[in-house]
Amino acid sequence: MIYQLTILARGRDRVHVRWRDLRFHLPTMRTVLRLSGSGTIQILIGTTSYIGLVRILSTFGAASLAGYTIGIRVIIFALLPAFGISNAAATMVGQNLGAGRPDRAERAVWTAAVYNMILLGAVGVVFLSTAPLIAAAFTSDPNVQPYTISCLRIVSLGFLFYACGMVVTQAFNGAGDTWTPTLINLFVFWLFEIPLAWLLAVQAGMGPRGVFVALTIAYSALAVVSVALFRRGRWKAERV
């Protein structure tokens, strides 16, 4: 934060912010609060869904829960660069819509999606091939390692889909339509993923691996739903 403020204040780059440029503008503040409020709900829906998965996994013992915890934390760490690409795509969408170029905004989204799929696809290959080594780096417990390995390998199978879905959902945010990805997250992660995880893990007898499979399917569903809505093009008419 300090670094960013220093860059803005020194005036050597494209954007130069001075004290006299800072003014309280209520309409802009209301817009920021409106967009950030729904954006916060959107993130909470996605992150809190993991609590439901933990509740299901807890019924299968401490080893499965520990293996999932290690696996999902490694996965979230690996997803950070992909989130960066997605946020960049959202910026490009907002910039190009503001310039009256929705065609260029759409092209930027598909380009970012390809880059993201290449990135996460490579990460997925690494997880598939080196999952035992990654698990061994975090735990030596022979009861925990198999669950960590399964989590890494099964969830990484959905990385290509999730890479595309991440970019497209962020594109809605960049266009100012924060409620569409919020509803997508609500449907995919709460109304679909958690019941599916329970059905596969408990009713179908797959155990903890059923939860991992549900995660992979949910990532894929997120991409399919997001792309279907994105291609309808309503986001092009959004006004922030």
Number of structural domains the chain divides into: 1
pLDDT at 236: 85
Tell whether 32 is covered by a domain: no
pLDDT at 114: 97
The residue range of the domain holding 175 is: 37-237
pLDDT at 239: 67
A 10 A CB-CB count for 28 gives 10
170's enclosing H/E stretch is helix 159-174
pLDDT at 9: 85
pLDDT at 176: 86
Tell whether 29 is covered by a domain: no
Cβ atoms 139, 189 nearer than 8 A: no
Residues near 49 by Cβ (< 8 Å), separated by ≥ 6? 189, 190, 193, 194
Tell whether 31 is covered by a domain: no
Residue ranges, the chain, pLDDT below 50 = none
Side-chain-side CA neighbours of 218 within 13 Å: the count stands at 26
- Entry pTM: 0.86
Q: Is the dihedral of CA 205, 211, 212, 217 positive or negative?
A: positive
Q: How far apart, in whole angstroms, are the C-alpha atoms of residue 158 and residue 215? A: 8
Q: In whole angstroms, how far apart are CA 142 and each of 62, 166, 167, 229? A: 13, 34, 37, 44
Tell whether 45 is covered by a domain: yes
153-163, pLDDT tens digit by residue? 999 999 999 99
Q: How far apart, in whole angstroms, are the C-alpha atoms of residue 185 and residue 183? A: 5
Tell whether 132 is covered by a domain: yes
Tell whether 2 is covered by a domain: no
